[in-house]
Amino acid sequence: MKIIIAGAYAIGTHLARLLSREHDDIVVIEPDEERLAGIGQDVDILTMEASPTSIKALKQAGAEDADLFIGVTPDECQNMTACTLAKALGTKKTVAKVDNAEYIAPDLQEFFAGLGVSSIIYPEMLAAIDINNGLKMSWVRQRWDVHDGALVMLGVKLRESCTILDRPLRELCGPEDPYHIVAIKRQGDTIIPGGNDCLQMYDMAYFMTTKQYIPYIRKIVGKEHYVDVKNVMIMGGGATAVRTVKTMPSYMDVKIIETDDQRCERLNSILENDKALIINGDGRDLSLLIEEGIKNTQAFVALTGNAETNILACLTAKRMGVRKTVAMVENIDYVSMAESLDIGTIINKKSIAASHIYQMMLDANVHNVRFLMTANADVAEFIPSEGSKVTHKPVKDLGLPKGMTIGGLVRNGQGLLVSGNTMIYPGDSVMVFCHNLNMKKIEKFFL
């Protein structure tokens, strides 16, 4: 597959490293020589020092027969212009990163497609969705809804109060049970479990279930004493904070602490119709946190541009009794450290954005590809074609590769858990989890 990436910034660099492992033909276009030097030393890609809106450069990069063009420079106008040019030259699909929430409205998708932009991503909105999913349930580290909750994936840290520890999963996750354990993160290792595996204390367990059984999951993992989130404190008033507040459930009250007084004035203007109190101050100031009611706050969300600040602020909030903490950690190298410190929910915008772009590379009918950073695993929603391999036999006889499991499916709007005897039909939405597997190998089952 031939892929052109415009912009050697955070998302572009992360994508180039991710995709180079799959031996795709990748070209990165970037006018800054230093940025190119930083990306090209340890990955097998071609780099071009040029403007992504140069028609000459696009032709040299191979836009005339490229499969995918990705515009992820900091300039949304440049991204969209480059996509338009690449599409006109012959590129099959294009995707542009934008900073304007207006552009992601569903009724504008056809309009932008007519301009040559196949897909638009707004990382701040994607991050806000993940943050709010985490806030809705204080006892869950990660939540992923499929088909409006027909199926739900819950990532839960297991403590001594969990009632299903040290028992083989074959005794817990039978065909009649209302959940499956689809992945386990244990001390740096990821396990796609089988029937003989057991859950242990301090595991991060990923449950696949249906919405009506969420209270049951909460009970068996021993999290009923966790209070629901109603009061939220956000440190940092950037675009991600704004999107989070604007998409936050109406029953939540939020305070935003921002150091820049001019930004505070801007936030008051942007959020004047939302339930948000803007506070000019430093979110690391303990006296300020106490004065603003940190001890009566159920969730603390650190969204500054500094990963270290966010991690330390969340640790401080936890020591002051806040149950639910969320940290934005843009430096991938810090993610494992944040996890080891038991921070809570970790948000990485470039990983989220890369997951959405990645699904455009696949030939199968696939939606909602997500990379679970804490589990180092991928999860995706595949829709099998008529006559595809996955529809020929029961799941237990499909010969699925090691490291892959099917957690559930949605059929006619109804969520169903999958057992070994389940038959998958064309048109089903199938939830696939995999670890250390190329997604291209998995999609062959669904073509």
pLDDT digits (tens, 9 = 90+) for 315-344: 999 999 998 999 999 887 788 788 778 888
- Judged by average pLDDT, the poorest of 33-37, 172-176, 404-408 is 172-176
Residues β-bridged to residue 367 = 381
Rounded to an integer, what distance in angstroms lies between the CA atom of residue 396 and that of residue 389? Answer: 13
Q: Which domains does the chain have, with CATH numbers?
A: 2-121 (3.40.50.720), 231-347 (3.40.50.720), 353-443 (3.30.70.1450)
Between the CA of residue 110 and those of 104, 117, 120, 143, 357, what are the distances in Å?
11, 9, 11, 30, 18
Laid out side by side, the sheet with 365-372 consists of: 365-372, 377-383, 429-434, 404-411, 414-417
Strands 231-235 and 299-302, bridge-based pairing: parallel
Whether the predicted pLDDT of 373 surpasses 70: no
Q: Does the global pTM surpass 0.85?
A: no
Closest CA to 91 of 116, 56, 71, 67: 67
Q: What percent of the chain has pLDDT over 70?
A: 94
- For the CA atoms of the chain, what is the radius of gyration? 22
Confidence of residue 441 (pLDDT cuts 50, 70, 90): confident
CB within 8 A of 323, min separation 6: which ones?
138, 226, 227, 298, 299
- What's the whole-number average pLDDT of the chain? 88
Read off the tokens for 91.
């590129």
Between the CA of residue 178 and those of 151, 216, 220, 390, 422, what are the distances in Å?
11, 9, 12, 23, 15
Mean pLDDT in residue range 99-117: 93
Give me the phi and psi of 45, to 5 degrees please: -140, 165
Give the model's pLDDT for residue 41.
65
Closest CA to 229 of 296, 316, 167, 155: 296
Mean pLDDT in residue range 193-218: 92
**What does the pLDDT look like over 66-78, one tens digit per residue?**
999 999 999 999 9
Mean pLDDT in residue range 199-225: 93
Task: Look at 378 and 263; give whichever has higher pLDDT.
Answer: 263
Task: Look at 421 and 165; give whichever has higher pLDDT.
Answer: 165
